[in-house]
Amino acid sequence: MRHLRGNLAAIGVTVLVLAVLGVVAGYVWSALAPAARYVLIDGTPHLADPESQSLIEADGWFAVVTGAFGLACGIVGYVLSRKQPVQVLIGLAAGGLLAGYVAMLVGSTAKGGVQAAGPDGYTTTTSLDLTAHGVLFAWPLLATAVFWVIEFAVTYNQRGGTPQALPPGPKL
């Protein structure tokens, strides 16, 4: 029972640390990504410039920011996981998903507000939003990938740099 509590504690601490880092990532994203400008006409928002690329740029910046956090977390997680690598890896995957979601929530509330009034309505800059929700996987994907790449490199060097042959399987 003590072993199970230790495993769950390692996973929980990893998830909690990544969730807190998600708050930081959300503010970084909101500082870097451009917000889309809208014109409010009769209470309905319309893009001020329909050919604007700001919605796509916001998704790209989110992927860059959360991907960088994922890479850093994967490296630090590997270095600190000597006794419980599987538990930390599970925490990186689950915590990375939660951290990406937290970053989206925090970043989407960090910008916004009416900028100026125009003859057709109010011009406003809205809060950030993700239009490509697949970028939420950047953090956990890169965190776990870098963890496995480092693990492979370390174990490959420990084996002398030569691939180990698998034992022969059963003959059918």
In a domain, 50, yes or no: yes
The tens digit of pLDDT for each residue in 154-171 reads: 888 777 766 556 567 676
User: What pLDDT digit, counting tens, does each position of 89-146 carry?
Assistant: 999 999 999 999 999 999 988 765 545 555 555 555 666 778 889 999 999 999 999 9
Angle (deg, nearest 10), helices 138-158 and 54-80: 40
How many structural domains are present in the chain? 1
162 in any annotated domain: no
156 within a domain of the structure (yes/no): no
pLDDT for 163: 59
Q: Is the dihedral of CA 129, 132, 137, 138 positive or negative?
A: negative
For strand 121-125 and strand 37-41, is the pairing parallel, antiparallel, or unpaired? Answer: antiparallel
Range of the domain at 106: 2-150
Is 166 part of a structural domain of the chain? no
Residue 121 CB burial class (10 angstroms; 0-12, 13-18, ≥19): middle
